[in-house]
């Protein structure tokens, strides 16, 4: 009965019946296989994390907590006199952004290395060897949990609802990567977006240190921020979804658990919607500053000519 039910459902959703029956009912088509695999918490559901993954996530969480509470304040006091003039609320955000920058650089560079040199995930983006990707995702997961804790405990200083949504959407997808090693190429590809984070944080640092928004360092960083954000978060969208579409309907796709497919699609769309919203704000701000800089330059040139 379960076999016939499975075949009927497959016809409704255009899924290869033989593959689905073997996946959920066992290669022999035994009715008991359907119930045994699903009620035993098999690959169709959410699997527990391995001890190694938990150790890395916990170590990452503790490491970023230490950087926020001890590492960043100590280094900032030694290297930046402006840090001492900040209010407690501003210091909280300063340390949060410093930790964010460190995470972005570590994970981003590791991610780029994997993208260039890890051949298994290039050959098999859905089920390739995810060892290095899982390590990188575990580090990021520890950071996201640490950042969520800091936001909830210091909401008035650094709380932001869109970041909470972003973090939970990412963690939801990363859980499947860490527990089942699925979609390593796509998980790693999403982490390339971290390369825009240091520029976003540096813009805030300049503001706190008293740099005028039309100063050369601020202008250079602002343009670099807009370019980097567009390059690693927006320009890659067509290629990412084109690659995703090429996987749909393949045997590898149907081997993915339903939860994994949902996490992949929902988190990708949610994150990209927010990226487009943030890109819109960045472009508006960047154009506003560039227009102000141009007007200021033109005004100075006119005054110089009048003086001459």
Per residue, what are the HEC states of 143-181?
A: HHHHHHHHHHHCHHHHCCHHHHHHHHHHHHHHHHHHHHC
Is the pLDDT reported for residue 5 higher than 60? Answer: no
Give residue-wise pLDDT tens across range 234-289: 999 999 999 999 999 899 999 999 988 998 999 899 889 999 999 999 999 888 88
Contacts of residue 132, defined as CB under 8 A and 6 or more positions apart, other chains included, come to: 110, 114, 118
As a whole number, mean pLDDT of residues 186-192 equals: 94
Task: Give long-range contacts, CB 8 A cutoff, 24+ apart: 92-96.
Answer: 92/154, 92/157, 92/158, 93/157, 93/158, 93/204, 94/205, 94/208, 95/67, 95/68, 95/69, 96/68, 96/147, 96/150, 96/154, 96/157, 96/158
User: Residue 11 to residues 24, 106, 240: CA-CA distances in angstroms?
Assistant: 15, 46, 29
At a CB cut-off of 8 Å and minimum separation 6, what does 100 contact?
147, 197, 201
What is the pLDDT confidence band of residue 34, given thresholds at 50, 70 and 90? very low
Domain boundaries, the chain: 2-37, 51-300
The overall average pLDDT reported for the chain is: 84
Give the whole-number percent of the chain exceeding pLDDT 70.
Answer: 81
How confident is the model over 68-94, as a mean pLDDT? 95
């Amino acid at each position: 009965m379960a076999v016939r039910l499975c075949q009927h459902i497959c016809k409704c959703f255009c899924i290869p019946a033989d593959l689905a029956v073997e996946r959920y009912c066992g290669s022999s088509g035994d009715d008991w296989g359907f119930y045994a695999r699903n009620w035993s918490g098999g690959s169709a559901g959410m699997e527990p994390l391995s001890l190694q993954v938990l150790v890395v996530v916990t170590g990452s969480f503790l490491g970023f907590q230490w950087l926020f509470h001890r590492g960043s304040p100590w280094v900032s006091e030694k290297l930046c006199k402006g840090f001492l003039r900040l209010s407690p609320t501003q210091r909280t955000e300063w340390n949060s952004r410093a930790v964010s920058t460190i995470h972005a650089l570590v994970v981003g560079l590791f991610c780029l290395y994997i993208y260039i040199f890890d051949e298994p995930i290039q050959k098999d983006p859905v089920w390739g060897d995810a060892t290095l990707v899982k390590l990188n995702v575990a580090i990021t997961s520890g950071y996201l949990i640490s950042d969520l804790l800091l936001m909830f405990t210091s909401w008035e200083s650094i709380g932001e609802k869109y970041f909470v949504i972003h973090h939970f959407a990412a963690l939801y997808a990363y859980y499947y990567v860490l527990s089942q090693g699925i979609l390593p190429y796509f998980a790693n590809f999403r982490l390339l977006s971290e390369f825009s984070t240091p520029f976003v944080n540096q813009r805030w640092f300049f503001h706190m240190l008293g740099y005028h928004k039309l100063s050369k360092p601020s202008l250079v960083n602002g343009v670099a921020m807009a370019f980097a954000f567009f390059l690693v978060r927006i320009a890659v969208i067509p290629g990412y979804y084109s690659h995703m579409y090429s996987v749909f309907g393949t045997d590898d796709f149907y081997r993915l658990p339903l939860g994994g497919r949902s996490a992949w699609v929902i988190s990708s769309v949610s994150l990209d919607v927010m990226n487009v919203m943030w890109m819109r704000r960045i472009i508006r701000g960047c154009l506003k500053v560039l227009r102000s800089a141009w007007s200021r330059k033109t005004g100075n040139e006119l005054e110089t000519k009048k003086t001459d």
